Amino acid sequence: MSEPWDEQARQKRYEELLQQIGAALIGTAPQGWRRIDLIAKIVEGVQDFGLTVIMSDMSTPEVEPPATAGQALLELRKLMYDQQRGAWLSARYVINPPGEFRIFYNYDHDPLWEPPIQPAFFERDLTTYPRPAEAVPGWLRRTIEQARTGQPETN
């Protein structure tokens, strides 16, 4: 009997989620799009999705990120959690016509929330998705310390 998420099942679900995200984004974009670019910033308890659609004439109409893509990204983050690396902090999903896509994951760099989120969210995220001490980037370590002490970060 196999584990609930053996590697083959994980890979299959990973591919399904990527397809769901892509289908939702293409379904939301107006006809004539040239590029779709979704940036997801996620930590435990808070998420931010920014969608840019570039049209053939280089205009960028206002398009809301589809909720189904957001839900799929939340599941994708949980699925991809790795005990040695932690969970990614942001992801970028880019689609070029007719449906070629690339996705990039950020495990280490500050996703630069605007406006900034409370340090306690990062602390909660690290509790939910722990990493070994050597895999915690310096900026994240300082942010967690700020959450624990309630002191603003000093440079």
Segments making up each domain of the chain, as ranges: 7-112
44 CB contacts (<8 Å, ≥6 apart)?
Answer: 121, 124, 125, 127, 128, 129
Averaged pLDDT for residues 68-73: 97
**Res. 73: pLDDT tops 70:** yes
Assign residue 100 a region: left if phi > 0, alpha if psi is -120 to 50, beta otherwise? beta
pLDDT of res. 61: 97
Cα 75 from chain centre = 10
Any idea which fold 7-112 has?
3.30.500
pLDDT of res. 109: 97
**Res. 57: pLDDT tops 80:** yes
Average pLDDT, the chain: 92
Sign of CA dihedral 146, 147, 148, 149: positive
Task: Kindly report the pTM of this predicted structure.
Answer: 0.88
